[in-house]
């Protein structure tokens, strides 16, 4: 709060200086750019004759009965959905009326992601790559949200949003290059697998520490607001990350600074091995939004149309009104947390099978397409065969590619190499020359 207060005071000083030096013209320009003067920034007038609270920190009335607020004041935030589990549209007014080509693209991206996951997971199990995280069961949250964004919107991911990048045009070769850390990797082999990033696709490179992207997204959204470029920022995270202190900071900054930001929580039931009933006692993550002054919604994350509708409307209003939104997408992590995890130690096979066989986002969308005559068994067989072939070809290309030049370890931090870094570089090459039998440099680019 001290940081927010300091920033508010600093903004107030700057604002008054602009008015004094540039006059009414500058003031109107600031108004057009969306810098609204909030109630907190105005000197309030107090009427001492009114028997009502005058405290500046809340809007409330006095009561004369001692009563604590119950943690669940309502039965539970409802889950918005468009399709039932059989792919039937429940309320025709909520049908996004997407074209056949768009829906087929949704389905093909979701299944391509699923195929890539299976191949790269097996690749790690065979020792070909060091680590991997699948997206099984959460494909609808990726594709539905990605489709609702503008390509210029900035994305902050956690580590299970590969489908967002795939929808934006990140190629299979780039996915494979990153996981294999070969010479085609945009990150030059410096990150562990699944830590994707793309400047061209406005996808900020993923960081390993949990929830660091949340306050970063708030800062980026504030910068976007100041630029007044009709862009939004979306920040993905799991319900486990919402327990981090960074989540509080990001939520509070974005609300008080009125930023065009969509917080997208994938509530998949588990924070690694910790189930939700051991993570929090409140009504999930969406219930936290009102406490920060954010508009919130809970959606069926296995319904790609519900995710699309919610994200599209949140994006529209975030840009138009300069305010953050919180979307909690209820879904289920069918796969293990990562290749370092064995989920059979903390959940039953029957539980996983239910979500895999009876409430899967891919099968739900397939039911929708089949009912409209847009997809058939022959189409399914042909696409599955084609998609696997495409992924395997990219996989084989990545395996044959050389590793990045070791010299890249020392670049992209300083414009000119500083003495201490040069000393480390020389030490590395002395070590490599001394133990050259352990360092096959022919596998690296020259």
What CA–CA distances, in Å, run from 315 to 197, 258, 262, 310? 22, 14, 7, 8
Number of Cβ atoms within 10 Å of the Cβ of 320 = 11
Cβ-proximal residues to 223 (8 Å cutoff; 6+ apart), any chain: none
pLDDT(260) > 60: yes
Q: Which of 130, 171, 208, 344 is catalytic?
A: 208
Report the C-alpha gap between 219 and 198 in whole angstroms.
Answer: 19
The 10s digit of each residue's pLDDT in 343-390 is 999 999 999 999 999 999 999 999 999 999 999 999 999 999 999 999
pLDDT at 60: 84
Q: How far apart are the first and last CA of the chain?
A: 52
Q: Which ranges in 149-287 belong to alpha helices (H)?
A: 162-168, 172-180, 213-227, 245-256
The 10s digit of each residue's pLDDT in 112-170 is 999 999 999 999 999 999 999 999 999 999 999 999 999 999 999 999 999 999 999 99
pLDDT(429) > 60: yes
Q: Closest Cα partner for 165 from 173, 177, 175?
A: 175
Mean of pLDDT values over 309-314: 98
CB 308, CB 99: distance < 8 Å: no
pLDDT at 29: 42
Q: Which ranges in 347-418 belong to alpha helices (H)?
A: 349-357, 361-371, 377-400
The 10s digit of each residue's pLDDT in 64-93 is 999 888 877 667 899 999 999 999 999 999
Q: Which of 142, 174, 195, 337 is catalytic?
A: 337
What does pLDDT average to over the chain?
A: 90
- Tell me the DSSP string of 96-151: ----HHHHHHHHHHHHHHHHHHHHHHHHHHTTSSS-----TT-HHHHHHHHHHS-T
Report the C-alpha gap between 8 and 35 in whole angstroms.
Answer: 12
Catalytic status, residue 139:
no
CB 263, CB 326: distance < 8 Å: yes
pLDDT at 39: 42
Burial letters 251-290, b for 16+ CB under 10 A, else e: bbbbbbbbbbbbbbbbbbbbbeeeeeeebeeebbbbbbbe
Structure tokens at 180: 């294999």
**Fold topology of 92-400:** Rossmann fold (3.40.50)
pLDDT top residue among 34 and 111: 111
Structure tokens at 392: 């395997």
Q: Which of 5-9, 96-100, 131-135, 314-318 bottoms out in mean pLDDT, i.e. has the lowest?
A: 5-9
pLDDT at 28: 43
The 10s digit of each residue's pLDDT in 4-54 is 444 444 444 444 443 444 444 444 444 444 444 444 444 556 566 677 887
CB 239, CB 271: distance < 8 Å: yes
Q: Which of 122, 278, 351, 399 is catalytic?
A: 122
Q: Which of 39-48, 186-195, 224-233, 404-413 bottoms out in mean pLDDT, i.e. has the lowest?
A: 39-48
pTM value is 0.88
pLDDT at 24: 44
Structure tokens at 158: 């956690």
Report the C-alpha gap between 51 and 62 in whole angstroms.
Answer: 8
CB 153, CB 171: distance < 8 Å: no
Report the C-alpha gap between 437 and 1 in whole angstroms.
Answer: 57
pLDDT at 49: 65
pLDDT top residue among 57 and 106: 106
pLDDT at 435: 97
Catalytic status, residue 338:
yes
Q: Which of 70-79, 252-261, 289-298 bottoms out in mean pLDDT, i.e. has the lowest?
A: 70-79
pLDDT(337) > 90: yes
Number of Cβ atoms within 10 Å of the Cβ of 248 = 17
Structure tokens at 370: 């089949």
pLDDT at 19: 44
Report the C-alpha gap between 110 and 146 in whole angstroms.
Answer: 12
Catalytic status, residue 343:
no
pLDDT at 2: 46
pLDDT at 69: 83
At residue 330, the 3 state secondary structure works out as strand
Catalytic status, residue 336:
no
Chain region(s) in the chain for CATH 3.40.50.970: 92-400
């Amino acid at each position: 709060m001290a940081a927010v207060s300091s920033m508010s005071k600093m903004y107030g000083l700057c604002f008054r200086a602009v008015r004094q030096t540039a006059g009414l013209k500058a003031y109107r320009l600031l108004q057009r750019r969306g810098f609204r003067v909030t109630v907190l920034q105005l000197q309030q007038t107090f009427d001492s004759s009114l028997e009502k609270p005058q405290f500046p920190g809340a809007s409330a009335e006095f009561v004369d009965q001692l009563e604590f607020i119950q943690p669940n004041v309502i039965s539970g935030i409802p889950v918005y959905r468009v399709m039932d589990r059989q792919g039937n549209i429940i309320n025709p007014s909520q049908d996004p009326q997407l074209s056949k080509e768009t829906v087929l693209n949704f389905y093909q991206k979701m299944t391509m992601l699923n195929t890539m996951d299976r191949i790269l997971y097996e690749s790690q199990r065979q020792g070909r790559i060091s680590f991997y995280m699948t997206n099984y069961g959460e494909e609808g949250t990726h594709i539905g949200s990605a489709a609702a964004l503008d390509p210029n919107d900035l994305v902050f991911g956690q580590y299970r949003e590969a489908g967002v990048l795939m929808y934006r045009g990140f190629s299979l070769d780039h996915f494979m290059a990153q996981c294999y850390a070969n010479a085609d990797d945009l990150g030059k082999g410096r990150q562990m697998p699944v830590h994707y990033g793309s400047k061209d696709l406005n996808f900020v490179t993923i960081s390993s520490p949990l929830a660091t992207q949340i306050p970063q997204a708030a800062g980026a959204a504030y910068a976007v607001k100041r630029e007044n470029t009709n862009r939004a920022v979306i920040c993905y995270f799991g319900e486990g990350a919402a327990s981090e202190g960074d989540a509080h900071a990001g939520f509070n900054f974005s609300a008080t600074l009125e930023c065009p930001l969509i917080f997208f929580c994938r509530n998949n039931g588990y924070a690694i091995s910790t189930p939700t009933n051991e993570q929090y006692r409140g009504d999930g993550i969406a219930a936290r939004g009102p406490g920060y002054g954010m508009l919130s919604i809970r959606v069926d994350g296995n319904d790609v149309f519900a995710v699309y509708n919610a994200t599209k409307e949140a994006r529209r209003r975030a840009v138009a009104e300069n305010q953050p939104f919180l979307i909690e997408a209820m879904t289920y992590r069918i796969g293990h947390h990562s290749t370092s995890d064995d989920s059979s130690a903390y959940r039953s096979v029957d539980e996983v099978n239910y979500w895999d066989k009876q409430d899967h986002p891919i099968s739900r969308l397939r039911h929708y397409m089949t009912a409209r005559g847009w997809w058939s068994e022959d189409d399914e067989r042909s696409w599955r065969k084609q998609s696997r072939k495409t992924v395997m070809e990219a996989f084989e290309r990545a395996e044959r590619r050389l590793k990045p030049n070791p010299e890249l370890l020392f670049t992209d931090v300083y414009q000119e190499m500083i003495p201490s870094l040069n000393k480390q570089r020389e030490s590395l090459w002395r070590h490599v020359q001394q133990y050259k039998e352990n360092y096959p440099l022919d596998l690296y680019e020259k």
